[in-house]
Every structure is written in structure tokens, then in C-alpha cells.
Amino acid sequence: MQRVPIQQMITIAKIEEMITWRPRRMRLNSEWPTPLHEPTSMGKDWALVLPFSETLGNAFNAMCDVDSIGLRESKGRCWTYLNNSNRDDTIVSKVRKWLEIIGEYVAIRDCLALSFALDYDRKNGDPSKLQTKIGSLRIKAKPYDSNMKPDMKAADALIEECMQFLQNMSCYERADVVVAMPPSDPSRPFKLSEYLAVGIAKLWKKPNLTSFIQTIHPRQSLKHKELKQKLPTLKGTIKFRNDCFKGKTVLIVDDLYQSGVSINYLASMLMKVGAKCVFGLACDKTCTNDDNIGE
């Protein structure tokens, strides 16, 4: 039976705990080769084992219409038995199909109900390798050299990739509104996350409420901050214009996911003003939580 994604309360303490979790991300197709386990004896059912319950648990429950004993956690993993799978081959087929869909993307372990990136910024999540297609598009669309103009074709290509993700990932359908992660410097002439949010909301036919979230004053970029310094830098820098998020499931769009502190902080603030659930979607995920410090 498909279920609505469950959102746990997000607190500052939970975000501080989150950055210590390991692993923090996983692309199942390449990094988790055997999620399905055959019955160990006659009459037993197939087992599904996942690396963590955050994000993956909600994605399974919301997308995979099969009966199970419910997802359990043990020794840092998430597992369940698929009821009647020893007699009904279609049950395992449905789970395999689900694994094929989500296994293409990077599942992120954080405090949001659902949190994915389209890909890593480097191939196979290895910082020594070349950039992925998504990572390359993001760099072109958001050049870090102030003398370079953003490549709008690359930005539009990222919107297309995000829309393909949303079409594949039915668990995101329950989002009511779209917002962009607010920039550290609101005076920046081009804000990629906002551009993505506008395009996604238009094509997805969902309201874009980015304008109701404001950066009160410029803050230092989190890019070069150590993990313990990120939350203090964020606190008190974001405000909401009214109560338009009350009772809503919100999709936060960001271009790059590093530690996740900023998007989870925004999610905690959204819940304080009444949002019932928060999803996250980033274009690409850095290979570790702090691997661009010092670049």
C-alpha cells in the first residue's frame, strides 16, 4: 500500500546530529548492488535492505505499492520482508522497477521527508574524477568566475533534467508549492536556484512562492565554512513574508548540495511557520559534506 511521506520535526539539534551521520548519501545503482535478498528457506519471503531509512524509506512507501512487514532499522540499515513474495513474482518485479528508478539518482540522508540530487558533481562521487554532465551544466549555469556570464542554455537544460526527475519520482507529486533556496547575497545579478524554481514551477504547474522567503541581510558564503560554523552563519538571516506555507508540502530547489545545513535550516524554518512537509531537490551533490572547502 502506497503511503504519504512522513515528515519528522526538524530542530537545530537534529541538524547538528545530521551532519555526523554516515553515510550521508547513496546512489543505489552503483553503490548498493544487492538491495534484494532471496528467501533463505522454503516459505520465507524476499527481503529488501537499504543503506538508510531517511529519504529511501519515504520513497519506498510512497512509490512502491507492495505489502511488507514495514521498514525496520538495525545496525545503521533499513530493511523489510516483502509479504507473499515467495508466491507472487510480481511483488519482487515491482520492487526491482522502483529500485531502477530511484537508483539513477543520489539519495540524501538528512532531515527532510525526501531529499535527492540528480547526480554527483564528479563521476561516481569520486573527487578525483571528471565532472558529471549535471555538474558541468551547473558550473556553466552558475560560473564562479565573476567575469563570466551564466550559460542560460545550461540552466534550461538543468530545468529539463529536474522535470524528468519529477516525472519519474512520483513520491514528489504531493508537493503543493516550489521555493528556491535563498541566496547568501540577494544582490547577486543571477540566482540559479531561483531561475530553476521559476522554470520547474511553471512546467510542473505548481505555485512558486520563492518571493515570500527573504534573505534579511547578506551572509558569508557557507562554501568555505567548516561544518560547525555553518549553522551560526545561517541563524537569523532568513524571514518569511506571511503565513502562506501553513499546511503546505514544500519543495525546496537548490543547485548544489554540500553539507545540507542550509536547506535543512530553511526546512526547519518552514515548519515553524506551518509547513507540514518539506522535500528537497538539488542538481548535484558534492562527493563529501565538506569537499569544496578551500577551493
122-133 pLDDT, tens digit per residue, is: 999 999 999 999
Q: Residue 131: how many CB atoms within 10 A of its CB?
A: 16
Query: Per-domain residue ranges for the chain?
Result: 28-104, 107-285
The second-level CATH assignment, the architecture, of 107-285 is: 3-Layer(aba) Sandwich (3.40)
Averaged over 290-295, what is the pLDDT? Answer: 39
- H or E element at residue 122: none
**What is the DSSP code (8-state) at residue 183?**
P
207-236 pLDDT, tens digit per residue, is: 999 999 988 776 666 665 666 677 777 777
Buried b (16+ CB within 10 A) or exposed e, 194-220: bbbbbbbbeebebebbbebbeeeeebe
Residue 145 has pLDDT above 80, yes or no: no
Contacts of 197 (CB under 8 A, 6+ apart): 178, 179, 180, 208, 210, 253
Averaged over 236-242, what is the pLDDT? Answer: 83
104-118 pLDDT, tens digit per residue, is: 999 999 999 999 999
- pTM over 0.85? The answer is yes
171-186 pLDDT, tens digit per residue, is: 999 999 999 999 888 8
